[in-house]
A = this chain, B = another copy of it.
Amino acid sequence: MAIGIGLVGTGTVGGGCIDIIQQHRESFKQHFGIDIELKRVCSLSVDEARARGLEGIFTKDYRDIVNDPGIDIVIELIGGTTVARNIVCEALAAGKNVVTANKALMATHGKEVMELAGTMKKELFFEASVGGGIPIIDPLKHSLIANRISTVMGIVNGTTNYMLTRMSEDGLDYDTALREAQDRGFAEANPTADVDGLDAAAKIAILASIAFNTRITIDDVYAEGIRSIAPLDLEAARDMGYCVKLLAIAHRKEDGIDVRVHPTMLPLTHPLASVNGVFNAIYVVGDSVGETMFFGEGAGAGPAASAVMGDVLECARHLQAGIAPLVGCTCTDTVPLVAMEGLHTKYYIRFAVADRAGVLAAMANVFADHEVSVHSVMQRGTKGEGGKVDLVYVTHTACEASVRAALSDIVKLENVVCAEPSLIRVEG
């Protein structure tokens, strides 16, 4: 008998899932012996269902799905952490297996829902919550488990990667790049979740939890967006052999897990450096495997539906074989987090300063006082309006707290700094 599927949320990704089921159901039977049947769809509006001839299995109440004894797997695609949380929890409690694309839910209430799934001995899959169609959660939970992972680092937000690519390659400023991304449907009218790094923060919380076997929530992630990135910084980066990417970073350090999202300078030779436009990629380093990278389309109906339906088919395969979940929550350890102030990395800092004698010396003294060792300092461009010039510093590895203290003191110097300095952390 076919495995019954209930779908909650018939938007872009839900539509993609319906397409896949309608087009490939026979292929799944033939090639994998997996038979799935879409038994019910839930949405706030009947129009989408009607357009696809699914009116007969349409409902506005998700409880009709959760309580349907013919449904084995519930797909949750409405997003958010309120109603979605109820759907996922009620479905699990009712003995359903769940597949979700909900990054916010997993990064906020991951512990609760994974534990509930464990108690109920049901599957809870969420491949689509990170990186769209890119298989990354499954490889971390299966193929790569012989490794001790030291780094998971990715471009996991296509909107900002598109904007940074346009700013870097074509010299657009932030506002123009954002407007273009909005016009092309890559950015929301309210772009906060993307441009302030919150979307990426949820995703790295999920990846880091799996890679390091310790629960990390979105609130644990330091997040800084791309609003203050100027074309001048992208230009300076390129001249130094770097690009600027909004990276979601998680490192295992001696004293704990360091997890953060911020614009990052990356050498052009790094595998992530050539990931442009709306593409996503996740770079993983393990003690045996060395460097690996998983690349693909991070958003859109097709890619996300590919991940959702991959999970659905795997779940259906398990159900048909009559087996209990093989991998549940893997957060078996409690590893401390490294506070942002304790971060040690290299820094790019650009100051707009008064172009006069003594400025360089005054700044150098402050850096020295805070034990921030400067690797290079360069003047960019020619003297601008009002006798200002841009000074670009790159530090040696330094402590975040010291760099912040130095910046704070430099800004206070009399008649030196003319605008908020621009700070970009450097990887590799």
Contact A313 B146 (CB under 8 A): yes
The reply to whether the CB of A293 lies closer than 8 angstroms to some CB of chain B is yes
Of the candidates B19, B145, B307, B330, the one whose C-beta lies within 8 Å of that of A310 is B145
Interface of A is mostly: mixed
Contact B302 A287 (CB under 8 A): yes
The reply to whether the CB of A303 lies closer than 8 angstroms to some CB of chain B is yes
Residue of B nearest to A147 (CB): B306
The reply to whether the CB of A227 lies closer than 8 angstroms to some CB of chain B is no
User: Residues of B contacting A138 with CB < 8 Å?
Assistant: 138-139, 142-143
Residue of B nearest to A300 (CB): B290
Q: Which of A28, A139, A286 has the most CB of B within 10 A?
A: A139
Q: How far is the CA of A297 from the CA of B289 in the complex (A)?
A: 7
Contact A288 B271 (CB under 8 A): no
Q: Mark A297-335, 1 if CB is under 8 A from B, else 0.
A: 100101101110110111001100101101100101100
The reply to whether the CB of A134 lies closer than 8 angstroms to some CB of chain B is yes
Q: How far is the CA of A149 from the CA of B136 in the complex (A)?
A: 18
Shortest CB distance A71–B (Å): 19
The reply to whether the CB of A20 lies closer than 8 angstroms to some CB of chain B is yes
Q: How far is the CA of A135 from the CA of B146 in the complex (A)?
A: 12
Contact B274 A289 (CB under 8 A): no
Residue of B nearest to A17 (CB): B146
Whether A290 touches B302, Cβ cut-off 8 Å, given contacts A135-B139, A143-B138, A332-B30, is yes
Contact B143 A28 (CB under 8 A): no
Of the candidates B139, B288, B306, B327, the one whose C-beta lies within 8 Å of that of A146 is B306
Contact A293 B292 (CB under 8 A): no
Contact A297 B290 (CB under 8 A): yes
Q: Known pairs A138-B142, A292-B296. 13 more at Cβ < 8 A? A: A32-B327, A135-B144, A138-B139, A139-B143, A146-B306, A279-B291, A286-B306, A289-B307, A290-B300, A290-B302, A293-B295, A294-B294, A321-B323
- Can you list 12 contacts pairing A with B, beta carbon distance less than 8 Å? A20-B288, A30-B333, A31-B333, A32-B145, A135-B292, A142-B142, A143-B310, A271-B274, A289-B303, A293-B296, A317-B326, A323-B326
